[in-house]
Amino acid sequence: MSRSTWIGLAVLSALAVATAAWLGVNPQDGIAKLKGSGEASKSTKAQTMPAPSVSVVRASVADFGETVLVTGTIVPREEIQIAPEIEGLRIIEVLVDEGQSVKKGDVLARVEQETLDAQAAQNTAQLARSNAAIEQARSAIVQAEARLKEAKTSFDRAKPLKQSGYLSESTFDQRESAARTADALLVAARDGLKLAEADRSLVEAQRRELEFRRGRTEMRAPADGLVSRRNARIGSIATGAGEAMFRIIAKGEFELDGEVTETRIAKLKAGQPVRIDVAGAGEVTGTVRYVSPEVDRTTRLGRARVFIGTNSALKVGVFGRGLVETAKSRGLSLPASAILYSENGASVQAVVGDKVETRRVETGLVSGGQVEILKGIAEGELIVSRAGSFLRGGDIVRPVLAESKVSDAGVIGDGLVQDTAINDRVVKDSAQKNKAVEDSLGGAAK
C-alpha cells in the first residue's frame, strides 16, 4: 500500500472523529451502545419469556371394570342331525322347512312303504311255510317212534328164539338191524324238527326287522328344537351317506363359540356374565359355559363357550363380540397418556405449584382409556395429561386444566402449550432497537 493511501485513510479517520465530536457523539460510546443493545435484547427476551403452559388433569376417584374380549361365531348349543334309519327308499313327503320350530315326535318326512309291504307279505308266506315244516317234522317223529318201538319188540322176541335154536342167524341180524335203523330215523326226525324251528325263528326275526323298518318310514324329531337346515327333497333316495337330511338346534338354544388371547384367557371362569354385541341382532347377554384347557400353538388363542339361550333374532354363523367383566374396583383415575412406562416401572409427572415432580406409581385396572392408580399420588393432584420427554423434574411450568382453553396459544407435542405471540413481539422489538443504533452509527460515519 502506498504512502498516499495511508495518508488518505488517516484524513478520513480524522474527519470521522471530528464529525462525531461536532455531533456530540463519542465513538467508543457508540460501539459500547451497539454491544449493549444486543445484550439488552437478550436480557429483555429472557425477562419477557413466560413459563411454558402444560395441559394437566386432576386425579379423581372413578369406578373401574376389567373386561376380557371374546370374539367368535354364534353356533347351536347342541345340534341334532337327522338321518334316515332305513336307506334305499324314495322320499315321498317333507313336512317341515328351515326356521320352523318342532316338538319331540313331530313327523319331519316320510318315505315310500310299498316295497316294505311287499316284503312283509313274502315274510308272512315264509312264516307259514316254516310252521308247516315244523308240523311235518313232528309227524315224522311220531312215525319214527312207532317204527322204533315195533323194531325193538321184534328184536326182543328174536333173542330167546335164537338161544333155543329156533331162529336162524340171518333173521336175528335183520331184526337187530331194523331196530338200529328205527332208532336212527327217530334221531333224524327230531333233528328235522329242530331245523324247522330254527327256520321259523329266522323268518320271525326277518319279520321283526320289517316291522321296525315299516315303523321308521316316518322320520320324527327326537327333541324340541328349531330346524336350521333341510337337505331332504321329495323324490330323492333316503341315504345316510353325506349331509344329514335335517339339522335341528336342540331347544332353540344358541351360544357364542369365541376365541380369547392367551394372556387373558386365564381370567375367564365358568358362570361369569357376558355382554355380547351380535351382528344384526344388537346386544344380548350370556354366561360363560366352559373355558377350553388348550391354547392353539399356531394362533396363540384359546377357546371359550358363552351360553346365550333362546333368541329368535340370532342366526347361526353370525359374528359376535363379547365383553366379560372379570374384576371391579374404585380408585384414583388418570388417562393412559399421563403414565410413562420404563424398565423401572410406571411413573407420572405431577405439577406442585409451578414445578414438575416425577412420581413412581402403582397401577391397577384399566378401563375405557383410564388407568387406576393404587399408590403414588393423592386425590386432587394435578398431573400432566400427556407425559413425555419434553418435561423433567424441577421444570417451571404454567399448569392449564385440559378442559380449559388457552387464547393466542399454539400446542406443542406431548401437551406443552407456549405463547408464541409474546415471543414474536419480543424478537421484533429487539430487532428494531438494533437497527436504530446501526443507523445512527452509519450517519456519524458519513
Q: Give the tens place of pLDDT for each residue, 338-364.
A: 999 888 899 999 999 888 999 999 998
β partners of residue 56: 384, 401
Higher pLDDT, 433 or 96: 96
Q: Do both 368 and 318 map to the same domain?
A: no
Q: Do both 124 and 41 map to the same domain?
A: no
> What's the confidence (pLDDT) of residue 180?
85
Q: Do both 324 and 334 map to the same domain?
A: no
Domain presence at residue 203 = yes
Domain presence at residue 245 = no
Domain presence at residue 98 = no
Q: Do both 209 and 118 map to the same domain?
A: yes
Proportion of the chain above pLDDT 90, given as a percent: 39
Domain of residue 338, CATH code? 2.40.420.20
Domain presence at residue 289 = yes
Residue that terminates a domain, selected from 190, 216, 242: 216
Alpha carbon 394 to chain centroid, angstroms: 49
> What's the confidence (pLDDT) of residue 161?
77
Q: Do both 120 and 182 map to the same domain?
A: yes
Residue that terminates a domain, selected from 166, 201, 216: 216
Domain presence at residue 232 = no
> What's the confidence (pLDDT) of residue 407?
35
Cβ proximity of 425 and 416 under 8 Å: no
- Domain range for 309 is 71-77+250-328
Residues in the chain: 446
Q: Do both 280 and 368 map to the same domain?
A: no
* Residue recorded with cell 334309519: 85
Dihedral angle of Cα 279, 282, 285, 290, to the nearest 10 degrees = 0
What is the band of 140 on the pLDDT scale with cuts at 50, 70, 90?
confident
Q: Do both 258 and 282 map to the same domain?
A: yes
The string of pLDDT tens digits covering residues 183-236 is: 888 888 888 888 988 999 998 998 888 888 888 888 999 999 999 999 999 998
Cβ proximity of 432 and 395 under 8 Å: no
Domain presence at residue 25 = yes
Q: Do both 283 and 353 map to the same domain?
A: no
Domain presence at residue 363 = yes
How many structural domains compose the chain? 4
